[in-house]
Amino acid sequence: MLKRISTNQTKTMLLLMLVFTVVILLFSGLVYFSIVNFSHQRFYELLKIRATTIVQIEKSRPHIDTTTNQIISNLTREEELPMEKDYVFEVPKDSNYSKISHQIHIPDTFFKNIVKKGVANYNDKELYYIGQSFHSHNKDYIAIASAKNHYVVYYLGYLKRTLITCMILALFFSMIFSFYLSKTLFKPILKITNKVKEISSENLHLRLEPQPGNTELNELVDTFNGMLNRIETSFETQNHLIGNVSHELRTPLTSIMGEADVALSMKRTEEHYQETLQIILEEAEKLDKKIKALLMIAQTGFDGKIQKMDKVRMDQLLWDVIETATRINSNNNVFMDISMLPDNPKKLKVQGNEQLLHLAMANIINNACKYSNFQQVKVSLGATDTHVYIIVKDNGIGIPDSEFDKIYDPFFRASNTKNYEGYGIGLPLARNIIRIHNGELIINSKQDIGTTVQISFPIFVTY
């Protein structure tokens, strides 16, 4: 797994470097060609000023001498461009520009474009030309200004070297940044992977921690933690069942077999046989109840195969549980506190199986009534925007601190419950049902003071 993550981390780093490299090359190319284009346009503007100046000077002359085909303007030396040459040609009547073209070594199409458009430009490597046609003394002329573009030769060469240096530095820093970013991206995954490796059958209580600001990864963490909840509950249920079934079932079976052996050892009176059969029947009924309890716990062992889920109003369910508890035993004294009920009754709805939820709440409330010697039990119901909360508080015998970690073991009964009837399956069964519904069960108890049970369920959300 780590090797796979390392490979993915390398791929991510290379991909980021590739993206950074492409972006850097695109922006460097854009900067370079933009400046090249700007320098060309700017230099042509300077040459156009020269050509316009030539036209003005030549028009002011009484006679245009084109025998040398070159004029010297009255521009000062400081204003001249590198290798500047200015020309004035009379437009041939036969439109044959081959002689002029051969003389200054530029294509004759350049001259034709000047005559046709009035202005034209041309560049030959480092030399730039711009020509302009004009009419003077009843004749048509072409004025050409040319010079060497020192921007291309010097400044753009320097720009090219600067950009190459910047690209090398940018690639170097992008490599460092890509490595750091890929390491940061995969750090939470590596952390989760290492945590998962620590989880085994001996420490199924461990959970993955959510990653701040990483919604997608937190969804994975929540899903994995939910799976661990199911595995832990199923594992604990099976583990405890294997350890307790033999003991719990052996007791009634031993009693049944003992009574039968005694009855068969010699002839008995009819009354004695009836008494023996009554004992066997009672022990068989206890055995039947324990087997049913075992089946119920196994069916709620969080194997993911549960009954159909519907919308359940928890206030209505609690009223029904309290009414049933009072009908079964008139000594049960349950007070329903509705002071924390929300204004919106929709916040009291949860998604669940009504029969299972009824069973879980009935077990908890009946235990509170029984172990408080039928003193008043307070049941409070409230809700937030995300959860429904139920609190069951009694002033009963409580649970000894030394035995608190065993309260979810099937058939476990605390040492101070010997005078109370029960099998020790109500609380484990209730916890399994609550976990099936993605709920949480928290118990706080002090011996001879009382017990408080807090239950929470996520509210039913419609999308």
pLDDT along the chain (463 residues), means of 10: 56 76 83 80 82 80 57 47 81 81 84 87 83 85 83 73 83 78 70 72 69 73 77 65 58 77 80 84 76 62 58 92 86 91 89 85 91 93 93 93 83 84 79 86 92 94 62
User: Based on the domain organization, do 75 and 47 belong to the same domain?
Assistant: yes
User: Based on the domain organization, do 18 and 140 belong to the same domain?
Assistant: yes
User: Based on the domain organization, do 342 and 438 belong to the same domain?
Assistant: yes
User: Based on the domain organization, do 150 and 44 belong to the same domain?
Assistant: yes
User: Based on the domain organization, do 319 and 294 belong to the same domain?
Assistant: no
Q: Which of 101, 133, 154 marks a domain boundary?
A: 154
- Residue 240's domain comprises 216-299
Q: Does residue 181 sit within a domain?
A: no
In the sheet that 450-458 helps form, which strands lie side by side, from edge to edge?
334-337, 377-383, 387-394, 450-458, 440-446
Q: What does the pLDDT read at residue 75?
A: 44
Alpha-carbon distance 422 to 413, whole Å?
8
Q: Does residue 169 sit within a domain?
A: no
Q: Which of 154, 175, 203 marks a domain boundary?
A: 154
The per-residue b/e assignment along 304-321, b for 16 or more CB within 10 angstroms, e otherwise, is: eeeeeeeebbbbebbeeb
User: Based on the domain organization, do 272 and 340 belong to the same domain?
Assistant: no
Q: Does residue 186 sit within a domain?
A: no
User: Based on the domain organization, do 67 and 132 belong to the same domain?
Assistant: yes
pTM higher than 0.75 = no
| Cα torsion 214, 219, 224, 230: sign | positive
User: Based on the domain organization, do 356 and 293 belong to the same domain?
Assistant: no
Residue 449 sits in a domain of what CATH number? 3.30.565.10
Nearest to 129 by CA among 84, 91, 65: 84
* C-alpha triplet 61, 65, 71: angle, nearest 5°: 85
Q: Does residue 135 sit within a domain?
A: yes
User: Based on the domain organization, do 271 and 328 belong to the same domain?
Assistant: no
User: Based on the domain organization, do 150 and 6 belong to the same domain?
Assistant: yes
Q: Does residue 161 sit within a domain?
A: no
Q: Does residue 191 sit within a domain?
A: no
Q: Does residue 304 sit within a domain?
A: no
User: Based on the domain organization, do 118 and 230 belong to the same domain?
Assistant: no
Q: What does the pLDDT read at residue 240?
A: 56
Q: What does the pLDDT read at residue 76?
A: 41
| Cα torsion 376, 340, 445, 352: sign | positive
User: Based on the domain organization, do 284 and 385 belong to the same domain?
Assistant: no
Q: Does residue 178 sit within a domain?
A: no
Contact in structure between 151 and 159 (CB atoms under 8 Å): no
Q: Which of 299, 328, 348 marks a domain boundary?
A: 299
Segment 393-412, tens digit of pLDDT: 999 999 998 888 888 877 77
| Domains held by the chain: number | 3
Alpha-carbon distance 364 to 175, whole Å?
61
Other CB atoms within a 10 A radius of the CB of residue 180 amount to 12
Q: What does the pLDDT read at residue 233?
A: 67
Residue 236 sits in a domain of what CATH number? 1.10.287
Burial class (CB in 10 A: 0-12, 13-18, 19+), 75: middle
Q: What does the pLDDT read at residue 462?
A: 63
